[in-house]
Chains A and B, each alone.
Chain A
């Protein structure tokens, strides 16, 4: 069969349905006797719920039912669980306050759910919800993570004194302090990693249904991991057996982390469906999404880098306060710890690193993993420090990096991870060339002539993807293993359906995974379909996040394919009357070595299902194999980004003139899709650095609660990107792949802010570098 499919720019199989309006997103699912839910949400950031009256709402046209936290408590519905246990510096478990699906006694952020109202139409549900009268006793609120532990700050949860979830640390502080004492130079920065609102274009939707026939539930939900959603919902919240609950996540319009979690609305519509004996659908509007989708980032950090006189890194000290919001979301606890501090070595041989993280509760929307999750924050710390250090020490920023690059692998970092492979000089070389760094000074002169400022910045990021080796994750507090499942079902005529526990919500798995399958089996890609997102079809799955799909989910499929090929050999041996050991499989054909005897994959598949004269003592009919894959290590994509900006000093407007990204993702299955992932990641990273900022006022009202105030990057805000790759194949998975989904969002903010601070000639610049913020910094500089 034709050219190899792995590495080919194959157009996507899923595109036709999306381009013709035939996609089936969750809101497109309309069930017989559908009813509609609207949530009554707290307008206050912090308040005691004194009384909820449903009397007027019940009289509204089309009203079906309404429930409050009291109803949920009476039904013994549990709270939303957190999936990762962090143990604090004193050996104590983190504080896990209850996270009720509907508020009980108190609300803790604007948008907190107070009641669910169900009616015949969504407009009627909204009308009725407006008639729910809630009597609040408003309490003072705290929104700023840095202020949450201050004396006298409003307290959110009784079980978490000083609003502290945990104080956690990694590394040896005494050794780090000693290294700092000997340093020739110390670079220190203090900054905020701004809170972001994910804003996948499809708002969340949950449509719960109940069947009295077999006492079973079906939840249609916009989710990145339906099996995890089902597991959490059945075992931890509703106390239902898993086989009685089906979760379907069909086409999902982007996730970026925000659709990993089990949300209160998902539980509420599922439970309510049984109460009203009708399907109950809730569709978030964008205003609700701003208030209730888990937010990202929100760190306040002080970071120091100690160097010898040649700019060789001696040690790093980092102290971070992470604002986790009002409650612990599903993975909130591991993001600012396990996914953050373990990445602080970056691409460098920094021998000692100490990091202390304090996680605090505030009266804000819960914060959880958002594209990159901890790793963008870590890269920002490392790469802002390194670039600043180079400037302070009058070293070329590329040179200081090269002096400290890790060059021998495997490399054990001082913060738990072991990098299997990489070539950081290769990506740096390629990026410098592609970005024409050599021509920068000339371009800068031209900008100066026009009255503009020009700057260049680097970021040499690393990330840990392919989460996770279950044993490692477990030892770090994960309450579940993080393997992946795959099933390959060969049909009698040789076409193949593959069931994967990974989920595609834009990543193109239906194409990439099909390339892997078709390539490994040597059959046409049109003969392969990938199925995901339905717990009734797919055996199990941990879902898609952390750039894990191809490395973990893809490998599970490869393992299942190996089993298929092996069983096929047995069948072929029988058909060809040869010894199994003499049969070889070569791109779609089973051959007996040294003869011209052969059978195609299709013939073998047919024989598997139509087993005339089958040796039933040796062979079972059928050709269907499962595999589970638990990775041996994380994968470590890395790369160098170079950003060049031109700043208009009169207005503060930053124009990204060039953005170059050279990544090492290991082996690449589909370069077209990989480039698209990089473009999108870069734009989200640029969004963080340039346009996006979630802001609350002191009372906890969200000031950036719509696209009128929260600036998602538009087409005019970004340039054409220059992207390229270098390849060091991952050493511990059969495809040699590492993952590419988050890299752009991880590396871009530091590169951009390094470029802006270079252009402005300043050390500090807060994100996002909006025109006003840049103008202020320039003004202050002039005044100084």
Chain B
């Protein structure tokens, strides 16, 4: 059985014909070949699959594609400016060495951008709590926390 799901991904309208049981992340990775969104677990803890849906960070492995019907989704491929210049949050991750293997990074960045919209000058504790749904095995979070603080302030300053 197939269903049709229509949504906007990174500003482009997309229609995909999928099995009902298809997850949003599967549409993103396999149908749209946007492979920057990763799958790191099967119990919704790791957050590597985080995308922005209607402006909110959600876990694309924890929802059916059909649940995204009619929504606007942004993946990591849609974060940088059209000319390739990094978004301030991406730039902060680079500057503060907030990534190592890079696998958790897309989810971290997407979640951080959503968080920073509500916290223009976050405290260390606020940032750490905001990362409850994102696991990283490489960095010990130290530089991620620094990067998100700097990225949030850069986002606020660029408004």
Contacts and interface: CB of A to CB of B under 8 A. Distances in A.
A521 B100 CA distance: 27
B138 A254 contact: yes
B40 A507 contact: no
A673 B99 CA distance: 10
Contacts of A112: none
B14 interface: no
B131 A714 contact: yes
Given A25-B38, A707-B45, A19 B86 contact: yes
Among B29, B75, B140, chain A packs the most CB atoms within 10 A around the CB of: B140
A174 interface: no
Interface stretch (A100-108, A196-204, A231-239, A728-736): A196-204
Given A12-B97, A20-B77, A202-B101, A708 B143 contact: no
B132 to A, nearest CB: 6
A20 B33 CA distance: 14
Contacts of B86: 16, 19-20
A200 B140 contact: no
Interface string A694-711: 000000000000111000
Contacts of A276: none
Nearest to A511: B97
Interface stretch (A297-305, A716-724, A772-780): A716-724
A589 B78 CA distance: 43
Interface stretch (A87-95, A647-655, A678-686, A754-762): A678-686
A712 B46 CA distance: 10
Chain B contact residues, majority secondary structure: loop
A21 interface: yes
Contacts of B38: 25, 201-202, 253
Interface in B103-159: 103-106, 109, 124, 127-129, 131-132, 134-145
B88 to A, nearest CB: 12
B35 interface: yes
Interface in B12-43: 19, 21, 29-30, 33-43
Nearest to A286: B41
B80 A123 contact: no
A713 B39 CA distance: 19
Given A15-B99, A20-B79, A25-B103, A683 B141 contact: yes
A28 B140 contact: no
A30 interface: yes
Interface residues of A, number: 57
Nearest to A686: B140
B102 interface: yes
A21 B77 contact: yes
Contact of B137 (A16, A21, A675, A684): A684
B90 interface: yes
A3 interface: no
Contact of A716 (B35, B104, B129, B142): B129
Nearest to A22: B36
B142 A679 contact: yes
Contacts of A202: 38, 40, 101, 103
Contacts of B37: 21
B75 A21 contact: yes
A18 B76 CA distance: 9
A392 to B, nearest CB: 33
Interface string A493-511: 0000000000001111000
Interface residues of B, number: 57
A256 B21 CA distance: 34
B156 to A, nearest CB: 20
Chain A contact residues, majority secondary structure: loop
A505 B137 CA distance: 12
Nearest to A203: B40
A21 B36 contact: yes
Contact of B139 (A12, A23, A256, A676): A676
Given A20-B36, A21-B77, A251 B102 contact: yes
A749 to B, nearest CB: 14
B135 A673 contact: no
B43 A286 contact: yes
Nearest to B127: A715
Contacts of B46: 201, 286, 707
A507 B42 CA distance: 26
Contact of B101 (A254, A673, A706): A254
A123 B19 contact: yes
A286 B40 contact: yes
Contacts of A507: 100
Contacts of B143: 675-676, 679
Interface string A591-607: 00000000000000000
Interface in A173-206: 199-203
A506 B101 contact: yes
Given A201-B40, A201-B137, A716-B128, A28 B35 contact: yes
B103 A201 contact: yes
B48 interface: yes
B36 A23 contact: yes
Interface in A247-262: 251-254, 256
B44 to A, nearest CB: 9
B137 A256 contact: yes
B94 interface: yes
Contacts of B48: 201
Given A19-B93, A20-B80, A706-B42, A676 B135 contact: no
B63 to A, nearest CB: 16
B103 A721 contact: no
Contacts of A20: 36, 76-77, 79-80, 84, 86, 90
Contacts of A203: 39-40
Contacts of A123: 19, 21
A445 interface: no
Contacts of B94: 11-12, 15-16, 19
B25 to A, nearest CB: 11
A254 B41 contact: no
A14 interface: yes
B31 to A, nearest CB: 11
Contact of B45 (A21, A681, A708): A708
Contact of B104 (A201, A682, A706): A201
A211 interface: no
Contacts of B36: 20-23
A744 B99 CA distance: 17
A680 B19 contact: no
Given A19-B105, A251-B102, A715 B137 contact: no
B95 interface: yes
B76 A21 contact: yes
A16 B136 CA distance: 18
A680 B137 contact: yes
Contacts of B101: 200-202, 251-254, 505-506
Contact of B135 (A505, A714, A720): A714
A672 interface: yes
A684 B77 CA distance: 30
Interface string A13-43: 0111111111111011010000000000000
Interface of B: 19, 21, 29-30, 33-43, 45-46, 48, 75-77, 79-80, 84, 86, 90, 93-95, 97, 99-106, 109, 124, 127-129, 131-132, 134-145
Interface of A: 11-12, 14-25, 27-28, 30, 123, 199-203, 251-254, 256, 285-287, 505-508, 672-673, 675-676, 679-684, 706-708, 712-716, 718, 720-721, 744
Given A676-B100, A683-B141, 19 more contacts: A12-B97, A18-B99, A20-B76, A20-B79, A30-B33, A200-B103, A201-B48, A201-B135, A202-B38, A253-B40, A675-B143, A676-B97, A680-B139, A683-B139, A706-B41, A707-B41, A714-B135, A715-B145, A716-B129
- Closest 5 pairs between A and B when the two form their complex, measured CB to CB: A21-B36, A18-B102, A253-B103, A506-B101, A683-B140
10 contacts: A15-B99, A21-B75, A25-B35, A200-B101, A202-B38, A252-B101, A706-B42, A715-B141, A716-B129, A716-B132
